[in-house]
Amino acid sequence: MPSGSVVVALNLPSPTAPAPARTGAGLDDVRVLVLAQNRARALTRLRNLGLRAVYLRGNAAPPTPDEITAVLHHPDGLIWRTAPDNRVPSTPERTELWHPIRSLLRRPTARV
């Protein structure tokens, strides 16, 4: 970005998926976008939210211009949606909207 900040895009297994579904890439993956001053701070933001085992290795799935626009216009600068399935062509009707990260990490309330 011209201001010196970076947008980091990661495909991660969903923290809310059951344990057997977390093996390999699948339908339970989420695409997370983070706006930060540098890559290290982007990782720190994710780790502070409880995603401790997140590492950046290369740039396998860089953010698209639409993704950059979405994260720049979000007040938190930290958003997610279900990772796109590249085997299925994307249409405007199938495109999922971006969600704030709080909705992904929200734990269900205990029922008494």
Tens of pLDDT, residues 19-46: 554 445 556 788 889 999 988 898 888 8
Query: What contacts 76, CB < 8 A, 6 or more positions away?
Result: 100, 101
Per-residue tokens: 88: 């299925």
Burial class (CB in 10 A: 0-12, 13-18, 19+), 84: middle
More confident site: 26 or 6: 6
Q: Which pLDDT score is estimated for 54?
A: 73
Q: What is the pTM of this model?
A: 0.72
d(CA 33, CA 10): 7
d(CA 16, CA 21): 10
Residue with tokens 């093996």: 23
